Amino acid sequence: MVRSQRRTQKKISSEDSCLDAAGDVLSAELPGGQEHRLESDKISAADLLRTIIERNKDSLLKPLLIALSDKIPREFSESINSEKKARSIVAYGLEEAGAELRPSERQKDLEEKVSKVLDACKVECRPCEVYRIGKPDPKRPPLVKVVLPASSHWRTALANARLLRNAGFPSVFIRKSMTLEERRRDFMLRQLARDRNKRLSSKEWVVYKDQLVHTKSLPRNSSGNLAAGTVLSD
């Protein structure tokens, strides 16, 4: 009886080397009625899902599992990109270094300029990524994308963007990173705010959290001033 069990165990494919009879594991049924245990911490999610698909006997469930295997990595990637976008800013008006410089020197020049912009905005951090984006345009320097370490730095940068004008950067502007659709909506809202404010003696309408709001509705501290970190677009 013992020999028969050993022969059955030897018939298990070498591809299932991750199968083990001990540890914190996930139960799996194999041919022959034997139960083995799959060490979930020693197998990748892709291999685990592929194993489930291969051993699934429900013809209706198989296409759903295949769809799931395609969807998981895509949604995971989208989640990472969304998180990264939420702490990214875009800078306008940062002049390019001379074309005679080497690429590494041009990149160094760009990073130094971005550091000065962040200093002016009172952002105390080192950017994760700094690079030019968009197509070359002889009329204006390319945009600069800056990925910051945390969303708190992102909020500080945008809240203090108004300080750039008096810090030696009158032609430099920064905004949050946006998709094409988001940029179109932002442009429409800012244009609507300008149109409403034209008929008033002071600016009363602003864009706040992707909405057109009256300044009376903005969050304020106990002194009546705008709350720290309030990011406006006008």
* Domain map (residue ranges) of the chain: 34-85, 86-177, 178-234
CA-to-CA separations, 133 to 119, 142, 145, 146, in angstroms, rounded: 22, 6, 7, 10
pLDDT at 11: 43
Q: What is the pTM of this model?
A: 0.62
* pLDDT tens column, 24-40: 444 444 444 444 555 66
CA distance 30 to 54: 12
pLDDT beneath 70: ranges in the chain: 1-41, 220-234
Residue 77 one-letter amino acid: S
- Backbone angles phi and psi of 233, in degrees to 5: -140, 125
pLDDT at 13: 43
CA distance 101 to 88: 27
Locus of tokens 């952002």: 123
Residue 169 one-letter amino acid: F
pLDDT at 223: 53
pLDDT at 30: 46
pLDDT at 18: 43
pLDDT at 12: 41
Class of domain 86-177: alpha beta
pLDDT at 65: 81
